[in-house]
Structure 1
Amino acid sequence: MNLFIGLTMLILGGLSAGSSYVPLKGVKGWAWESGWAVQGIVAWLLLPLLLALLATPHLFAVLHATPMGTLTATYAFGFLWGLGGLAWGMAVRYIGLALGFSIATGFLSSLGTLVPIIAEGQLNTTLSTASGRVTIAGIALSLIGIVICGRAGWLRDKDQKSNTVFNFKKGIAIALAAGILGACFAFGIAAGDPIKQNAIAAGAAPQYASFPIFFVELLGGITVNLAYCIFMNRRNRTFNDYRQAADIKTLKANYAFSALVGALWYLQFVFYGMAGFYMGPYSFANWSIHMSFMVVASNLWGYHYKEWANTSRAPIRWNNIGIAVLVISGIVMGIAQAVA
């Protein structure tokens, strides 16, 4: 255990995740689906496979020894999560980096905690314990934070009536879907635990033993995202994006920026997975710290790119309050795990 290294990994993971979509702003002349397809191949296929191979001796033998039911469940949860990842990207497109991350993250942290409790019929049991009541309080705070950020977005939408880039109503609905489906990633990690145990038995270091799970799960994610992008390429007749742009320099830059999105996105799992090892008994705080820095980083980028330009002070003030409430809610849920 090394708390300094663990906290550093969590902070880097949150900053990486919160900054991951920024390079898409450097993609010029491509349809959204083209840049999304390239980043998806890097984030959900190439890097997971590479790191799983590096971390796991005899990777494919390990997967072959894993029950098919485990592989299927892990892939299926990854497929559902992939729908959420697709929705997350669209939410950022419709309501910006700041609101997209804040609202989708709020839904993800609250619903990802609450839905399993309700689905397993454990709500009354949860409310009967101190840690359970603190957890529910954290969820309530998260939902309040979402409402506050939503109000900020609504006010911004009113101030920016001439802004045709953002679509608040559509974006908020997509962010909700992203939050609900995004919770499936945690279920996939739980379902894939036998893969992790097989990897450790084969000689993988414990801090890297989750990489084979990510590989299988993200195969489900890339399946749905690539299928959607190909569909949109065909419908919008944008297949030519992959081989042309304004000039060869722009084409290379588009590939580089799109690939950077994927690299930054996947790096969060590298940092987060390593943090779990170094934080030891303090791992209860991992998720809240990771999500908090993700929200903060994405909002700083949102302000940098003037997503709140041409608005009054009120929307910005509401957004800052919403960010603070979301961060506090994550801390409260971390405290709940500590109490447990």
Structure 2
Amino acid sequence: MTEGVLLAVAAGIMLGLYALPEKFTKGFRYENTWSVFFLLTMFVVPIVASMLLIQGFGEIFGTMPAELWIKMGLASFLWGIGVMMWSRAINYIGLSLGFSIFIGTVILIGSLLPFLVDGLPDTDSLVLIVSGILVVLLGIILKGRAGLLREKDERSSKADQSQKGKANMSTGILIAVVGGLLATGFSYANAVGRPYLHEASQAQGNADWVTAVAVMFPIFISGGVVMTAYFAYQLTQKKAWEGFKTSAFASNFLWILLMAVFHYAASALFAFAAFKLGDSGNTVGYAIYNTACVVTAIVSGIITKEWISASPKAKRLLYAGVACMVLGILVIAAGN
């Protein structure tokens, strides 16, 4: 169990830090950086990793039941839409609030969803796991409140308090919640696909950890379809294709490739952590994984002085939120 918890935490930290290399790209607009990123992390990296690491790759996926392809594909497609909605919500309500609401919804629903596939654990474990999830959710709510106060502290014009601003806030919150609900498709796809893919992978003589790579293949390919379509539209709509014509393209590509590898590795590591955690692995691992990701993002924000202008009250709520997240992780681990 300890190994599974540590792996889930490590996966969350990697996910929380994967976007850091973006700060070193030059001459790229948002659409340029993230279109290349999603192309690499959803298609190139998973395909190369799967073909190199999975013995019997063709046999495993060639004989995979069509019903399972459909279940995993649809769930992963919804996950892709959810991620896109989250990026849109940030435009309305900012990173702090958007991240908190999105991940909070993902943890709450995504951690409970696998019970529909794997079944319920014993009563004592279930009570602890659900209690831990609620503590995590409380922490994310506190963090979201801290984000709102920080935005209020930094507000410099009366225009920000207009009715239009309130409407944008409501719209953004709704988009973040719906996006979080759809993004739980990742957890469902992992839960429903892992049993077959683990058995098929073992039959081909693969080690236990290879199952995580196998599970990620259909999830990323399916999720990548909607992401590719979205960014192709954005590049055309905002006339950003010209942004690729820069002398820094080669260095930018390497930084983005590093982002893609970290992002994919974090997801694969989570899938392996869920396997190591046993029957309740998807629930326990998913909560720990997303919480570690949020905590990492918060700590990174503090280090980079993102909260330097926030009021003492906002900072107290932030620290209380982090404390609840950590406590929630411990309770969930105890439940396992």
Q: Which range, TM-score by smaller chain?
A: 0.7 to 0.9
| Aligned equivalent of 2:57 | 59
Q: 2:39 aligned to 34, 38, 41, which one?
A: 41
CA deviation after TM superposition for structure 1 residue 15, in Å? 1.6
1:326 aligns with 2:328: no
Letter in 1 for 2:187: A
Letter in 1 for 2:190: I
| Aligned equivalent of 1:265 | 263
Q: Is the 8 A contact 2:5 2:333 kept in 1?
A: no
| Aligned equivalent of 1:157 | 151
In 2, distance between residues paired with 1:308 and 1:49?
40
CA RMSD of aligned residues (A): 3.2
Q: Is the 8 A contact 1:57 1:204 kept in 2?
A: yes
In 2, distance between residues paired with 1:168 and 1:327?
28
| Aligned equivalent of 1:199 | 201
In structure 2, the CA distance between the partners of 1:15 and 1:146, relative to structure 1 (3 Å rule), is closer
In structure 2, the CA distance between the partners of 1:99 and 1:323, relative to structure 1 (3 Å rule), is farther
In structure 2, the CA distance between the partners of 1:30 and 1:95, relative to structure 1 (3 Å rule), is farther
Letter in 1 for 2:40: V
Give the TM-score taking structure 2 as reference length. 0.83
Q: 2:137 aligned to 139, 143, 158, which one?
A: 143
In 2, distance between residues paired with 1:286 and 1:192?
16
| Aligned equivalent of 2:14 | 16
| Aligned equivalent of 1:290 | 289
| Aligned equivalent of 1:256 | 254
| Aligned equivalent of 2:188 | 187
Letter in 2 for 1:239: W
| Aligned equivalent of 1:220 | 222
In 2, distance between residues paired with 1:212 and 1:231?
30
In 2, distance between residues paired with 1:234 and 1:279?
44
Q: Is the 8 A contact 2:129 2:284 kept in 1?
A: no
CA deviation after TM superposition for structure 1 residue 19, in Å? 0.5
What 5-or-longer segments of structure 1 have no aligned partner? none
Counterpart mapping for 1:238-253 below 5 A: 238-242=240-244, 244-245=245-246, 248-249=247-248, 251-253=249-251
Q: Is the 8 A contact 1:101 1:298 kept in 2?
A: no
CA deviation after TM superposition for structure 1 residue 6, in Å? 5.1
| Aligned equivalent of 2:334 | 335
Q: Deviations over 1:253-303 (max 9, x none)?
A: 332332222121112134334445666799685444433432221112112
Q: Is the 8 A contact 1:91 1:171 kept in 2?
A: yes
Letter in 1 for 2:136: S
Letter in 1 for 2:251: A
How many residues end up aligned between the 2 structures?
325
In 2, distance between residues paired with 1:89 and 1:212?
27
Q: Is the 8 A contact 1:103 1:149 kept in 2?
A: no
In 1, distance between residues paired with 2:79 and 2:279?
28
In 2, distance between residues paired with 1:94 and 1:25?
22
Letter in 2 for 1:20: Y
Q: Is the 8 A contact 1:288 1:331 kept in 2?
A: no
| Aligned equivalent of 2:299 | 300
What 5-or-longer segments of structure 2 have no aligned partner? none
In structure 2, the CA distance between the partners of 1:115 and 1:14, relative to structure 1 (3 Å rule), is closer
Q: 2:24 aligned to 17, 23, 26, which one?
A: 26
In 2, distance between residues paired with 1:93 and 1:13?
27
Q: Is the 8 A contact 1:285 1:335 kept in 2?
A: no
In 2, distance between residues paired with 1:147 and 1:274?
29
Q: Is the 8 A contact 2:212 2:272 kept in 1?
A: no
CA deviation after TM superposition for structure 1 residue 220, in Å? 1.2
Q: Deviations over 1:14-57 (max 9, x none)?
A: 22111012222333443322211111122111221122112322
In structure 2, the CA distance between the partners of 1:209 and 1:133, relative to structure 1 (3 Å rule), is closer
* 1:306 alignment partner, SS class: coil
In 2, distance between residues paired with 1:100 and 1:331?
25
Q: 2:236 aligned to 234, 237, 241, which one?
A: 234
In 1, distance between residues paired with 2:300 and 2:31?
22
* 1:210 alignment partner, SS class: helix
In structure 2, the CA distance between the partners of 1:200 and 1:47, relative to structure 1 (3 Å rule), is same
In 2, distance between residues paired with 1:180 and 1:11?
22
| Aligned equivalent of 2:125 | 131
| Aligned equivalent of 2:76 | 78
Identity of aligned residues (%): 27
